[in-house]
C-alpha cells in the first residue's frame, strides 16, 4: 500500500492547524486515497494506474488547502482564557456573576429555600425588634428641632407628699405657673397632663385619651394645625368659662371620618361641652412615645370639669409635665443652673397650707433642673427598653446561628463544587474572580433573604404591638419605615453576606487545583482539614443555641412562676365594676348611703357570692403609701406601709383568710373609733407580734388627713399589693365608711361563679336600678393581673420562639454535617462492614460522632450561657440566672438534637452495602 | 436581490444538499459519499478529495452533520458522518428551496416549449 501521508501533509502546507486536527485530516484523506487505490486494483487496473487515479483525487489541492484554511479558520471563535484579558468592565462582570449566581441557585431549589428561610427569619426578627427599638428609643419627637427640647423636673422628689397622678415625675399646677413666669432659659415653655375623658353620655363609659395642655403647648412644640387652629395663651387663662378642644388627626379620622366641617362642633368630655377648635397634623401623635392622644383641652378647663376638686390650686397634686425649648445658645446645664437659682423662690411661693408640717422643709429644699427631652417621655420606653435591647441581643445571636448555618451550607456546596472551581482555576481564572463569583451568589441570597426578612419584620412588629396592647391601653408606636431602619437592615444584609459568603469562598479557592481534582477520586481521609472548619461552625452553632435555649427556658420558667405565684388572694372569678356617680352630684353626707345601697344591690344579683368596695385594686399598679408607728413607740422609728380603704366582705370576696380578729362591719362609722385591719407582714415589721389585735398605731399626717390613731381589729393573711414580683409588704386596711371624704367613683369587686356576660348584665341592671345616671366600666381581675405581666409574657414568648428557631437551625446544621460525613466516608464504612462491623456498630459510631460535636458545643456554650444570662437577672422572677433546671433542660434539649440530627445519617450509614460502597467514588 | 442570494445558495447549496441527503438515512464515510454521488448521478457529478472534504468540514463546523471515528472489527477506523437535528431542519428547507427552484425552471422552460 502506498504511503500518502507525506504527500497530503506537503499539500496542506502552512495551514497552521493544531497538530491533533491536522493528524485527523491527514488520516481521513489518506484513507480515502487508500480506498480509491484498492478499488482501482480490484477493477483490474495496474499498480501504476491505481496510484495515478488516487493521486488525481488530490488534484486541485490548492483548492483543498485554501478551502480548508477558510473552513477551519473562518468559524473559529476568538480564543478566550478565563480570568485573563481584563475587560475592565466591573459592572458587566458583576451582572454576569449575578445572573450566573441566580441560575446556580435556581437549580438547587432545596438549598435556596432553606438558605432564604434561614436568612429571612434571622434578619426579619432583627429588623422587627430594631424597628420597635428605634420607634420608642432612638427617634426624636416628630416636631421641628426636637433637640432643643428640655424637660423641667425636680432633681430628687424624695419626701414629696400628696397625690401623684402621673407615671412620670411631675409638678403641681402652682409650681408650673411659677416656672412659667420665672424661667429665663427657654424661649417658650409648656406643660401637659395625661388623663382619660369619658366621651359617652350614657351609662357605658367611652374612654378617650386626653391631654390637659397649657396655652403654648402646640406653639412651642411647633405643631401647626391641619384644620382650624391650635391653642394660644388666650385659651388657657385662669377662670376660663368655656374651653375649646383640639383633636388629633387619628381621632378626627376615627370618630368623625375626617369631616372637614368639624371645627365649631361640640364634643362632650366627662359630661362637659367643649367646642372643637382645630385638628393637629397626622405626624404629631403627642409628647409621649407609645401613647397617642385623642383630645387636648386647656389646663384651665380643669376648674370646669372637676369643679371644687380641681387641681389648679392644689399644691399637693402632682400631675403636670413641664418642657421648654431652649433659647439659642443655651445648654441644658445652663438652663439647670438658672432653674436652680429660681428654685427656692418657686417652692416658697407654692408651699401648700395643706402640706404636712414635718414635710415642709423637704419641700422647700427641692431643686429644679433641665433634662434633655428630644425624644419626649415614654412609659413604653421605660418598661420595654431593657427587654427590647435584650431581645435585640437574642435576635442578633439567632442571626449569628443562621449565618453559621448558611456558612456551613455554602461550605458543603463549595466542597461539592470543588472540581468545578479547580477546573476554572486550572483554566486560568484568577482567585479573586472566583471569589467574586461566589460572593455574588451569597449577595443574591443575602439581598433576597433580607427583602423577605423586611416583609416578615413588618408583620412581626405589628404582631408585637398588638401583643403589647391591652384593651384599655392601646399602644401607639409610629412604625413608618425610615432610613435608620432601612440602613440597619441593609447593613445587616451586607454583613451577613460577608460573614457567611466570604469564608467559604476563600476556602474553596485556596486548594491547589491538582489536589482538588485528585480529591474527587478515592481517598479515605480526603478533606479532613476543611471538614474541621465545618465541625467548628456546628460546635459554635450548638454553643450559641444553648445560650438562647437557656435564656428561653429562664424567661418561660420565670413567667410560669409569675402566673402561679401566691399573691395571697384568688384571681379567678372576680369582676371589677367601676362605677361613676359624678352626674348624680350627691352631697358628701348622702354619698355613703348611696354607696351602701349600690353594694347591697350588687350582692343581691343572682350568682354573686360576695362583693366589696375597695379604693385600691391589688396589683393594679395604683397605691397609697404613708408612714406609721405603733402607739407608744418613738415616731422617729416610723416605717412606710401601703394602705387601702375597703368595705366589709373584701377579704371574703378575695378569699384572703382573716387570721385573727374581725372584718369591718356596720358598727364602724365615721364617728366610731378609727379601726384598721393589718397584714401579717405589718405585724411582723411594724409591731404587735403574732396577734396585734387590740393594739393601736399612728398614721402620719398627709395633705388630706391629719395624724390619726387606729386600733387594730383584725389580722389578714399577706397579699401582694403593687405587683406580682414584690415581696409581701406591710399593708393596713381602713374601712371606707370612716374615710374623711367620699369620692364619686367606686370600684366594686364581685366574686361569682356565673358566666361573665350574664354577670355583667346582672350587675349593670342592679346599678342602673340604684341610679340610671351612673356610668359603668367592667374589668376582669385575672386579666388585669395578666396584663401587668405583659413584659414577662413578651420575653417568654419571643425568647421561646428564638430559642426554638436556634434549636431547629442547630439541628439542620448538625444533620447537614453528619450526612456529609456519612456520604464522604461511604468507602470507609464499606470497608468496615466488609471486615465484619455490624449495622449497630456503624450506627453507634455515627451517633457518637454527632453526640461528641454537641457535647463540645455544650461545653463551650455553658460558660457563655453563665455569663450571658447574668444580664437577665433583672427581668427574672423566682429564679437565679444560673437556674440549674433551665440549664439542665437546655443541655438535654441539645442532646436530643444530637440524637435527632444523627439518627437519619446513622441509619443511612448502617445500610451501606459494602460492595456498592467500595465501588463508590 | 433575491436572484443573487438564490444563485449563491444554489451553487453551494446543491453540493451541501447532496451530501446531507446521503447521510440522512444512515451515517456514511467520505469515500462512500463520493462513490454514491458519482454512481447515482450516472457519473455526471464527481467530487474528489480536494472538493469533498472542505465541504464536509464546513457542514460539520456549522453543526449540520457530525463526524465520528468508528472502529469495526478487523477494519481500520473510519470517520462516519451523520445528520444532526439542526442539519435535518436545514435539509428540509434546502429540499423545499430546491424543489421550488426546479419547478420554477420547469415552468419557464415548458412555456417556451408550448
Distance CA A363, CA A855 (A): 62
Quote the cell numbers at residue A74: 473562518
Contact between A59 and B48 using a beta-carbon 8 Å cutoff? yes
- A317-321, A518-522, A711-715, B61-65: least confidently modelled range: A518-522
Q: What is the pLDDT of residues A527-559, one digit of tens each?
A: 555 567 778 888 988 999 999 999 999 999 999
Contact A645, A736 (CB under 8 A): yes
Q: Which of A201-210, A477-486, A812-821, A889-898 has the highest mean pLDDT?
A: A889-898
Determine the Cα–Cα distance for residues A714 and A703; give it in Å rounded to an integer. 27
Residue scoring higher pLDDT (A476 or B71): B71
How does pLDDT run across A425-471, given as a tens digit for each residue? 777 777 787 888 888 888 888 888 888 888 888 888 888 888 877 76
CA distance to A228, A881, A885, B36, per residue, from A857 (Å): 66, 20, 19, 77
pLDDT of residue B5: 54
Decide if B76 and A67 are in contact by the 8 Å CB cutoff: no
E runs forming strands in A614-656: 624-630, 639-646
Summarize the confidence of residues B53-67 as an average pLDDT: 88
Question: Angle at CA A171, nearest 5°, toward A167 and A176?
Answer: 145
Tens digit of each residue's pLDDT (9 = 90 or more) over A382-428: 888 888 888 888 888 888 888 888 888 777 777 777 777 778 777 77
Q: Tell me what the mean pLDDT of segment A300-329 comes to.
A: 89
Return the top range by mean pLDDT from A54-63, A571-580, B44-53.
A571-580
- For residue A500, report the phi and psi dihedrals to the nearest 5 degrees: -95, -10
pLDDT in tens, B5-16: 554 455 556 788
Kindly report which listed range (A31-35, A480-484, A709-713) carries the lowest average pLDDT score.
A480-484
**What percent of chain B has a predicted confidence (pLDDT) above 90?**
23
Interface touch A31/B76, C-beta < 8 Å: yes
> For the segment A853-880, what is each residue's pLDDT rounded down to a tens digit?
899 999 999 999 988 888 888 888 888 8
User: Cell for B83?
Assistant: 445528520
- For residues A853 and A537, the answer to whether their CB atoms sit within 8 Å is no
Axis crossing angle, helix B49-62 with helix B2-25, rounded to the nearest 10: 90
Q: Looking at the partner chain, which of B48, B62, B76 has a beta carbon nearest the beta carbon of A57?
A: B48
A652's grid cell = 371574703
Query: Band of the pLDDT at A783, cuts 50, 70, 90?
Result: confident
DSSP per residue, A89-104: -HHHHHHHHHHHHHHH
Is residue A83 predicted with pLDDT exceeding 50?
no
CB-based contact B51 A63, cutoff 8 Å: yes
With an 8 Å Cβ cutoff, are A61 and B58 in contact?
A: no
Separation in Å, CA A663 to CA A612, A631, A684, A710, B21: 12, 22, 20, 15, 117
Residue found under cell 358566666? A755
Cβ pair A31:B57 closer than 8 A: no
For testing contact with chain B, the best of A5, A71, A72 (most B CBs within 10 A) = A71
Nearest Cα neighbor of A312 from A380, A392, A214, A235 is: A214
Query: Measuring CA to CA, how many Å separate A566 from each of A650, A779, A783?
Result: 18, 21, 16
ipTM of the complex: 0.85
Give the pLDDT band (50/70/90) at residue A341. Answer: very high
- Given a cut of 80, whether residue A472 has pLDDT beyond it is no
Residue of B nearest to A12 (CA): B50
**Which residues of chain B are within 8 Å of residue A33 when distances are taken between CB atoms?**
49
Query: Residue A747: which of A870, A643, A645 has the closest Cα?
Result: A645
Q: Which residues of B touch A (CB under 8 A)?
A: 29-31, 34, 48-51, 53-55, 57-58, 61-62, 76, 78-79
- Work out the average pLDDT over B65-88: 87
Nearest of A535, A496, A491 to residue A403 by alpha carbon: A496
Among A683, A734, A729, A731, residue whose Cα is nearest residue A709: A734
User: Does the structure show a pLDDT above 80 at A86?
Assistant: no
Give percent helix, percent strand, percent coil of chain B, each to the nearest 5. 70, 10, 20
What is the average pLDDT across A703-708? 84
Residue identified by cell 496510484 is A51
What pLDDT does residue A858 have?
93
Scanning A511-649, the segments in alpha helix (DSSP H) are 513-519, 528-564, 588-603
Element at A441 (helix H, strand E): helix A431-468
All residues of chain B having their beta carbon less than 8 Å from the beta carbon of residue A74 are 61
Amino acid at each position: 500500500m502506498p504511503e500518502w501521508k507525506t504527500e497530503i501533509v506537503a499539500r496542506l502546507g502552512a495551514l497552521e492547524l493544531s497538530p491533533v486536527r491536522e493528524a485527523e485530516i491527514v488520516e481521513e484523506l489518506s484513507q480515502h486515497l487508500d480506498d480509491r487505490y484498492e478499488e482501482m486494483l480490484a477493477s483490474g487496473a495496474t499498480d501504476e494506474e491505481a496510484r495515478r487515479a488516487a493521486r488525481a483525487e488530490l488534484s486541485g489541492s490548492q483548492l483543498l488547502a485554501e478551502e480548508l484554511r477558510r473552513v477551519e479558520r473562518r468559524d473559529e471563535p476568538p480564543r478566550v482564557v478565563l480570568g485573563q484579558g481584563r475587560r475592565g468592565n466591573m459592572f458587566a462582570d458583576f451582572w454576569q456573576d449575578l445572573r450566573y449566581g441566580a441560575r446556580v441557585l435556581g437549580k438547587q431549589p432545596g438549598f435556596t429555600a432553606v438558605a432564604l428561610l434561614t436568612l429571612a427569619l434571622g434578619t426579619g426578627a432583627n429588623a422587627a425588634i430594631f424597628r420597635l427599638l428605634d420607634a420608642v428609643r432612638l427617634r426624636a419627637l416628630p416636631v421641628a428641632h426636637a433637640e432643643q427640647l428640655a424637660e423641667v423636673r425636680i432633681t430628687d422628689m424624695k419626701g414629696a407628699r400628696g397625690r401623684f397622678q402621673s407615671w412620670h415625675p411631675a409638678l403641681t399646677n402652682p409650681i408650673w405657673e411659677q416656672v412659667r413666669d420665672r424661667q429665663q432659659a427657654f424661649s417658650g415653655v409648656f406643660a401637659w397632663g395625661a388623663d382619660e375623658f369619658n366621651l359617652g353620655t350614657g351609662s357605658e363609659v367611652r374612654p378617650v385619651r386626653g391631654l390637659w395642655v397649657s396655652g403654648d403647648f402646640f406653639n412651642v412644640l411647633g405643631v401647626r394645625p391641619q384644620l382650624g387652629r391650635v391653642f394660644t395663651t388666650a385659651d388657657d387663662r385662669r377662670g376660663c368659662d368655656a374651653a375649646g378642644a383640639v383633636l388629633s388627626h387619628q381621632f378626627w379620622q376615627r370618630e368623625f371620618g375626617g369631616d372637614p366641617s368639624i371645627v365649631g362642633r361640640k364634643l362632650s368630655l366627662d359630661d362637659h361641652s367643649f367646642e372643637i377648635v382645630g385638628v393637629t397634623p397626622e405626624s404629631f401623635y403627642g409628647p409621649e412615645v407609645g401613647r397617642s392622644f385623642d383630645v387636648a383641652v386647656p389646663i384651665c378647663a380643669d376648674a370646669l370639669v372637676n369643679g371644687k376638686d380641681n387641681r389648679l390650686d392644689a399644691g399637693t397634686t402632682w400631675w403636670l409635665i413641664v418642657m421648654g425649648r431652649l433659647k439659642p445658645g443655651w445648654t441644658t446645664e445652663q438652663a439647670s443652673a438658672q432653674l436652680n437659682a429660681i428654685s427656692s423662690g418657686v417652692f416658697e411661693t407654692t408651699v401648700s397650707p395643706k402640706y404636712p408640717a414635718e414635710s415642709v422643709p423637704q419641700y422647700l429644699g427641692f431643686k429644679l433642673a433641665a433634662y434633655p427631652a428630644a425624644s419626649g417621655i415614654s412609659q413604653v420606653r421605660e418598661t420595654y427598653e431593657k427587654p427590647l435591647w435584650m431581645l435585640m441581643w437574642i435576635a442578633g445571636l439567632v442571626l449569628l446561628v443562621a449565618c453559621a448555618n448558611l456558612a456551613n451550607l455554602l461550605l458543603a456546596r463549595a466542597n461539592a463544587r470543588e472540581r468545578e472551581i479547580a477546573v476554572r482555576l486550572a483554566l486560568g481564572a484568577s482567585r479573586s474572580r472566583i471569589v467574586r463569583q461566589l460572593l455574588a451568589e451569597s449577595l443574591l441570597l443575602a439581598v433576597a433573604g433580607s427583602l423577605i426578612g423586611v416583609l416578615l419584620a413588618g408583620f412581626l412588629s405589628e404582631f408585637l404591638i398588638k401583643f403589647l396592647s391591652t384593651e384599655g391601653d392601646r399602644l401607639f408606636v409610629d412604625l413608618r419605615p425610615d432610613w435608620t431602619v432601612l440602613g440597619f437592615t441593609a447593613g445587616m444584609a451586607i454583613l451577613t453576606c460577608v460573614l457567611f459568603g466570604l469564608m467559604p469562598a476563600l476556602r474553596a479557592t485556596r486548594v491547589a487545583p491538582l489536589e482538588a481534582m485528585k480529591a474527587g477520586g478515592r481517598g479515605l481521609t480526603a478533606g479532613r482539614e476543611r471538614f474541621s472548619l465545618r465541625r467548628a461552625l456546628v460546635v459554635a452553632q450548638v454553643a450559641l443555641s444553648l445560650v438562647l435555649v437557656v435564656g428561653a427556658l429562664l424567661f418561660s420558667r420565670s413567667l410560669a412562676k409569675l402566673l402561679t405565684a401566691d399573691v395571697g388572694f384568688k384571681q379567678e372569678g372576680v369582676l371589677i365594676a367601676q362605677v361613676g356617680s359624678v352626674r348624680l352630684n350627691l352631697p358628701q353626707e348622702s354619698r355613703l348611703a348611696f354607696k351602701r345601697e349600690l353594694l347591697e344591690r350588687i350582692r343581691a344579683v343572682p350568682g354573686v357570692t360576695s362583693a366589696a368596695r375597695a379604693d385600691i385594686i391589688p396589683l393594679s399598679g395604683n397605691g397609697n403609701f404613708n408612714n406609721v408607728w405603733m402607739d407608744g413607740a418613738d415616731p422617729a422609728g416610723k416605717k412606710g406601709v401601703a394602705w387601702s380603704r375597703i368595705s366589709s366582705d373584701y377579704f371574703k370576696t378575695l378569699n384572703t383568710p382573716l387570721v385573727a380578729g374581725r372584718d369591718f362591719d356596720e358598727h364602724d362609722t365615721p364617728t366610731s373609733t378609727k379601726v384598721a385591719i393589718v397584714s401579717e407582714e405589718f405585724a411582723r415589721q411594724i409591731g404587735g407580734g403574732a396577734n396585734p389585735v387590740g393594739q393601736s398605731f399612728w398614721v402620719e399626717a398627709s395633705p388630706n388627713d391629719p395624724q390619726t390613731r387606729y386600733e387594730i381589729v383584725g389580722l389578714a393573711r399577706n397579699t401582694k399589693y403593687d405587683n406580682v414580683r414584690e415581696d409581701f409588704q406591710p399593708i393596713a386596711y381602713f374601712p371606707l365608711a370612716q374615710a374623711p371624704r367620699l369620692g364619686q367613683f367606686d370600684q366594686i369587686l364581685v366574686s361569682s361563679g356565673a358566666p361573665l356576660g350574664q354577670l355583667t348584665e346582672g350587675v349593670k341592671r342592679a346599678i342602673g336600678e340604684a341610679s340610671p345616671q351612673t356610668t359603668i366600666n367592667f374589668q376582669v381581675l385575672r386579666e388585669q393581673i395578666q396584663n401587668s405581666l405583659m413584659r414577662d409574657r413578651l420575653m417568654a414568648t419571643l425568647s421561646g420562639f428564638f430559642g426554638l428557631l436556634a434549636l431547629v437551625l442547630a439541628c439542620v446544621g448538625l444533620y447537614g454535617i453528619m450526612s456529609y460525613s456519612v456520604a464522604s466516608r461511604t468507602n470507609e464504612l464499606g470497608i468496615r462492614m466488609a471486615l465484619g462491623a455490624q449495622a449497630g456498630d456503624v450506627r453507634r459510631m455515627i451517633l457518637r460522632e454527632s453526640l461528641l460535636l454537641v457535647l463540645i458545643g455544650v461545653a463551650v456554650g455553658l460558660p457563655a450561657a453563665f455569663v450571658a444570662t447574668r444580664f437577665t437577672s433583672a427581668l427574672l422572677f423566682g429564679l437565679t440566672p444560673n437556674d440549674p433546671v433551665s440549664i439542665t433542660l437546655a443541655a438535654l434539649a441539645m442532646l436530643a438534637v444530637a440524637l435527632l440530627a444523627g439518627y437519619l445519617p446513622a441509619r443511612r450509614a448502617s445500610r451501606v452495602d459494602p460492595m456498592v460502597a467500595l465501588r463508590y467514588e | 436581490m433575491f436572484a443573487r442570494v438564490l444563485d449563491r445558495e444554489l451553487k453551494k447549496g446543491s453540493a451541501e444538499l447532496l451530501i446531507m441527503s446521503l447521510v440522512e438515512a444512515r451515517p456514511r464515510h467520505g469515500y462512500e459519499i463520493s462513490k454514491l454521488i458519482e454512481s447515482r448521478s450516472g457519473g455526471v457529478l464527481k467530487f474528489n478529495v480536494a472538493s469533498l472534504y472542505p465541504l464536509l468540514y464546513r457542514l460539520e463546523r456549522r453543526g449540520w452533520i457530525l463526524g465520528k471515528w468508528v472502529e469495526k472489527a478487523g477494519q481500520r477506523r473510519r470517520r462516519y458522518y451523520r445528520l444532526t437535528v439542526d442539519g435535518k431542519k436545514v435539509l428540509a428547507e434546502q429540499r423545499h428551496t430546491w424543489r421550488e427552484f426546479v419547478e420554477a425552471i420547469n415552468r419557464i422552460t415548458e412555456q417556451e416549449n408550448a
